[in-house]
Amino acid sequence: MTGGSLLPFGDALELWLAIVLIGLATYGFRLSFIHLFGRIDEVPARIKRPLRYVPPAVLAALVLPDLVTIRPSVAATLADERLIAGAVAGVIAWRTENVLATITGGMVTLWLFRFVVFA
Protein backbone atom coordinates (compact mmCIF):
# COMPACT_ATOMS: atom_id res chain seq x y z
CA MET A 1 0.00 0.00 0.00
CA THR A 2 1.11 3.52 -0.72
CA GLY A 3 0.65 6.60 1.43
CA GLY A 4 -2.59 5.87 3.26
CA SER A 5 -4.44 4.45 0.27
CA LEU A 6 -6.97 1.73 0.99
CA LEU A 7 -6.29 -0.07 -2.29
CA PRO A 8 -2.94 -1.36 -3.60
CA PHE A 9 -3.32 0.64 -6.86
CA GLY A 10 -3.31 4.02 -5.19
CA ASP A 11 -5.51 7.04 -5.01
CA ALA A 12 -6.52 7.09 -8.69
CA LEU A 13 -8.44 3.82 -8.39
CA GLU A 14 -10.17 5.02 -5.23
CA LEU A 15 -11.20 8.20 -7.01
CA TRP A 16 -12.63 6.33 -9.99
CA LEU A 17 -14.36 3.85 -7.72
CA ALA A 18 -15.98 6.70 -5.80
CA ILE A 19 -17.09 8.39 -9.03
CA VAL A 20 -18.63 5.18 -10.38
CA LEU A 21 -20.38 4.33 -7.10
CA ILE A 22 -21.79 7.83 -6.70
CA GLY A 23 -22.91 7.77 -10.34
CA LEU A 24 -24.67 4.44 -9.84
CA ALA A 25 -26.37 5.70 -6.68
CA THR A 26 -27.57 8.83 -8.48
CA TYR A 27 -28.79 6.80 -11.44
CA GLY A 28 -30.63 4.41 -9.13
CA PHE A 29 -32.28 7.27 -7.27
CA ARG A 30 -33.51 8.87 -10.50
CA LEU A 31 -34.60 5.53 -11.93
CA SER A 32 -36.64 4.80 -8.82
CA PHE A 33 -38.78 7.90 -9.45
CA ILE A 34 -39.24 6.99 -13.11
CA HIS A 35 -40.25 3.48 -12.09
CA LEU A 36 -42.56 4.75 -9.32
CA PHE A 37 -44.37 7.29 -11.49
CA GLY A 38 -44.50 4.82 -14.38
CA ARG A 39 -46.62 2.51 -12.26
CA ILE A 40 -49.07 5.20 -11.14
CA ASP A 41 -51.92 5.85 -13.56
CA GLU A 42 -52.55 9.37 -12.33
CA VAL A 43 -50.49 11.53 -10.01
CA PRO A 44 -52.48 12.40 -6.87
CA ALA A 45 -53.58 16.03 -6.49
CA ARG A 46 -51.60 16.47 -3.26
CA ILE A 47 -48.44 15.63 -5.24
CA LYS A 48 -49.39 17.50 -8.41
CA ARG A 49 -50.12 20.80 -6.62
CA PRO A 50 -46.58 21.40 -5.29
CA LEU A 51 -45.02 20.24 -8.57
CA ARG A 52 -46.45 23.38 -10.25
CA TYR A 53 -43.87 25.42 -8.33
CA VAL A 54 -40.83 23.46 -9.52
CA PRO A 55 -40.19 25.34 -12.83
CA PRO A 56 -40.33 28.84 -11.27
CA ALA A 57 -38.19 27.71 -8.33
CA VAL A 58 -35.54 26.21 -10.61
CA LEU A 59 -35.54 29.30 -12.84
CA ALA A 60 -35.18 31.57 -9.81
CA ALA A 61 -32.35 29.44 -8.41
CA LEU A 62 -30.48 29.66 -11.72
CA VAL A 63 -31.06 33.34 -12.47
CA LEU A 64 -31.23 35.27 -9.19
CA PRO A 65 -27.65 34.77 -7.95
CA ASP A 66 -26.22 36.32 -11.13
CA LEU A 67 -28.91 39.00 -11.21
CA VAL A 68 -28.31 40.32 -7.70
CA THR A 69 -24.51 40.00 -7.66
CA ILE A 70 -23.16 43.51 -7.84
CA ARG A 71 -20.31 44.20 -10.22
CA PRO A 72 -17.97 46.88 -8.84
CA SER A 73 -18.01 48.90 -12.06
CA VAL A 74 -21.79 49.26 -12.11
CA ALA A 75 -22.63 49.28 -8.39
CA ALA A 76 -26.30 48.36 -8.92
CA THR A 77 -27.33 51.44 -10.84
CA LEU A 78 -30.14 51.60 -13.36
CA ALA A 79 -27.47 51.35 -16.05
CA ASP A 80 -27.07 47.65 -15.27
CA GLU A 81 -28.67 45.77 -18.17
CA ARG A 82 -29.08 42.67 -16.01
CA LEU A 83 -31.37 44.47 -13.57
CA ILE A 84 -33.48 45.91 -16.39
CA ALA A 85 -33.79 42.53 -18.12
CA GLY A 86 -34.60 40.87 -14.79
CA ALA A 87 -37.34 43.40 -14.10
CA VAL A 88 -38.81 42.88 -17.58
CA ALA A 89 -38.66 39.10 -17.13
CA GLY A 90 -40.36 39.46 -13.74
CA VAL A 91 -43.23 41.43 -15.27
CA ILE A 92 -43.57 38.89 -18.09
CA ALA A 93 -43.61 36.02 -15.58
CA TRP A 94 -46.23 37.76 -13.47
CA ARG A 95 -48.51 38.57 -16.41
CA THR A 96 -48.19 35.39 -18.50
CA GLU A 97 -47.13 32.68 -15.99
CA ASN A 98 -45.23 31.12 -18.91
CA VAL A 99 -41.62 30.06 -18.28
CA LEU A 100 -40.64 30.07 -21.96
CA ALA A 101 -42.06 33.57 -22.49
CA THR A 102 -40.23 34.76 -19.36
CA ILE A 103 -36.87 33.40 -20.51
CA THR A 104 -37.33 34.68 -24.06
CA GLY A 105 -38.45 38.15 -22.99
CA GLY A 106 -35.67 38.49 -20.45
CA MET A 107 -32.96 37.35 -22.85
CA VAL A 108 -34.19 39.56 -25.71
CA THR A 109 -34.25 42.55 -23.34
CA LEU A 110 -30.77 41.73 -22.05
CA TRP A 111 -29.35 41.42 -25.56
CA LEU A 112 -31.04 44.63 -26.74
CA PHE A 113 -29.64 46.62 -23.83
CA ARG A 114 -26.23 44.97 -23.96
CA PHE A 115 -25.62 45.28 -27.71
CA VAL A 116 -27.75 48.26 -28.74
CA VAL A 117 -28.34 50.66 -25.87
CA PHE A 118 -25.15 50.26 -23.81
CA ALA A 119 -22.85 49.39 -26.72
Q: Where are the domains of the chain?
A: 11-41, 52-117
**Is the pLDDT score of 78 beyond 70?**
no
Distances (CA, A) of 73 to 51, 79, 82, 95, 98: 40, 11, 13, 32, 33
pLDDT of residue 19: 94
Q: Which residue would you say has higher pLDDT here, 9 or 100?
A: 100
Whole-structure pTM value: 0.54
Nearest in space to 83 (alpha carbons), one of 67, 94, 99, 96: 67
60-64, 67-71, 86-90, 112-116: segment of lowest average pLDDT: 67-71
Q: Is the pLDDT of residue 4 over 70?
A: no
Q: What average pLDDT is seen over the chain?
A: 82
